[in-house]
Structure 1
């Protein structure tokens, strides 16, 4: 444990109009059992009091640094700038409205030490509703070396969120960080690549908390998010076959815009149904009755079969929530991939 505590971790927090949640996020990192760290807050031209909140935090702890972009760069470039400023052996990411459990870094660093062939680790999460209450359980993948090998051999994608990932900084630099020309899905693209090329292993224990937001980039760019996810899957297979990978623009042209009209309309219907299922999940977890009904009806009209799967997903998460409260959240019955198919909140 002393060896692991000697390893420095650079914690990167991209922030945009995060005045209401930034202090809570930083506090959750500082309360952690692993103390050898630096916190790099990068403000992407916020228009609220994020700068004032960050300034107070910097005064309180010398491990915290604050940077403000000269213009709005977006989350990918903001993270990349901090990756190159980081001085830690490992880099951990946390969004400015999420939180960690105290043992998060301790567990993640032990996983890396116990599995030297793995260059990135992650973990399961809980949701945070709009009141900050922890609920439900977000499963993760891969959690075994067999599942990790499957990603390398079959082109599967991992199921991880940025706020759960800890990765060897040298690998991030080698791969160039996040794709800056992707508005959404850039985290899926990077973590899938890392999992396939270097190995990624995740803990089933929920070591962090993901806040449910109604106006996220995924909500705003729901169609681009789905296209990006499909592009990641296609490039995984191309990488395995030794073929040239497609840029996001190339994939969008070939596999969506160039489709015959009826196929394109059907594809749009399926993607819109997934978007409404995501909104349905958000509303349900936040106990918002009217939006839950509205999104439920819209999803049923667009894709009745998917609605049945969504209901099963919701009931499974209800069960997982109870299991997690009893300390057995690791016994998830629903695979991460299946959860994604039926409308998870990724």
Structure 2
């Protein structure tokens, strides 16, 4: 089964070398590596050109003007020749057995539209964290939050990607979560139970650091889920997610507390109460502010 790696990049000359290197180091290497340069104004495209001159599997697509990561991924996927699309963000890296492990799991789940894996999150100032979703993630799991996390963990059948029209480039953020929700309607989403992606916080131009776009993206996806599911429980859980974003990202404790209070008021269940207590503990860890 042929595999196309798709890497969007903008102004990351050193990191793109590491990302491509992790593709070439795979025990089951991709058949092609499509790098979509999204309007870089530094040496990034020239570096990719030099690598492509030495390795025929590397293909560079250049956009003169930046259209965002989602649009870049869609462009790369449209030109991919592989049956499977393996997405990789330019500041992340794969473990050497990532593709081989996902391909093996795909053979066990022939109807799965996508295969995922666990992630190791490397922080600059605190201990690394490992996140591994459960072995098979459902649409119901994803209505609560993006439990599958980073795009770099995704291994997607190209025909299924095209069936759901790929990433929604109109979303300011959370386009990955939106895609997982669409794919989960087509079949199970199995997960390799190992952290095969190194998620780095090294880059300074990460989309996830744009707080306004991050919060807006979540609100838009929340609205889409609510329109389909319309559950009081889901509304409460989404409020808890809003609280978590303020604790982890903005540090605004009063906003977080308001969302926690709203969640408990809507659904004072054991599930909501347990998550609320957990979030209260996170406030100290993340140094939330008034």
- For residues 91-120 of structure 1, what are the alpha-carbon distances to aligned partners after superposition, in whole Å with 9 as ceiling and x for unaligned? 010000100000000111111110112110
Q: Please, which of 14, 19, 22 is the counterpart of residue 28 of structure 1?
A: 22
Which structure 1 segments of 5+ residues have no match?
A: 1-6, 242-254, 256-266, 280-294, 317-341
Q: Does 1:94 align with 2:88?
A: yes
- For residues 229-248 of structure 1, what are the alpha-carbon distances to aligned partners after superposition, in whole Å with 9 as ceiling and x for unaligned? 2432443354468xxxxxxx
**Within 5 Å, which residues of 2 pair with 1:45-194?**
45-130=39-124, 135-140=128-133, 142-144=134-136, 147-148=137-138, 150-151=140-141, 155-160=143-148, 161-194=150-183
**1:198 shift after superposition:** 2.8
Query: Aligned partners of 2:194, 2:207: CA distance in 1, in Å?
Result: 27
Q: Please, which of 183, 193, 207 is the counterpart of residue 217 of structure 1?
A: 207
Query: Aligned partners of 2:50, 2:205: CA distance in 1, in Å?
Result: 27
3-state secondary structure, aligned to 2:65: coil
3-state secondary structure, aligned to 2:116: strand
Query: Aligned partners of 1:58, 1:108: CA distance in 2, in Å?
Result: 26
Query: Aligned partners of 1:47, 1:308: CA distance in 2, in Å?
Result: 46
Q: Which moved more, 1:41-50 or 1:205-214?
A: 205-214
- For residues 100-147 of structure 1, what are the alpha-carbon distances to aligned partners after superposition, in whole Å with 9 as ceiling and x for unaligned? 00000011111111011211011111013349x99221232x423xx5
Which structure 2 segments of 5+ residues have no match?
A: 261-274
3-state secondary structure, aligned to 1:46: coil
Asked if the contact 2:253–2:283 (Cα under 8 Å) also holds between the matched residues in 1, the reply is no
Q: Does 1:236 align with 2:225?
A: yes
Query: Aligned partners of 2:217, 2:280: CA distance in 1, in Å?
Result: 26
**1:148 shift after superposition:** 2.5
Equivalenced residue count is 261
Query: Aligned partners of 1:51, 1:274: CA distance in 2, in Å?
Result: 37
1:102/1:84 CA distance change after superposition, 3 Å: same
**1:156 shift after superposition:** 4.4
Per the alignment, residue 195 of structure 1 pairs with 184
**1:28 shift after superposition:** 0.8
Asked if the contact 2:23–2:29 (Cα under 8 Å) also holds between the matched residues in 1, the reply is no
**1:190 shift after superposition:** 0.9
**1:72 shift after superposition:** 1.4
3-state secondary structure, aligned to 2:18: helix
Query: Aligned partners of 1:302, 1:186: CA distance in 2, in Å?
Result: 24
Asked if the contact 2:105–2:115 (Cα under 8 Å) also holds between the matched residues in 1, the reply is yes
- For residues 296-324 of structure 1, what are the alpha-carbon distances to aligned partners after superposition, in whole Å with 9 as ceiling and x for unaligned? xx5445546799635756999xxxxxxxx
**1:227 shift after superposition:** 3.8
Asked if the contact 1:157–1:192 (Cα under 8 Å) also holds between the matched residues in 2, the reply is no
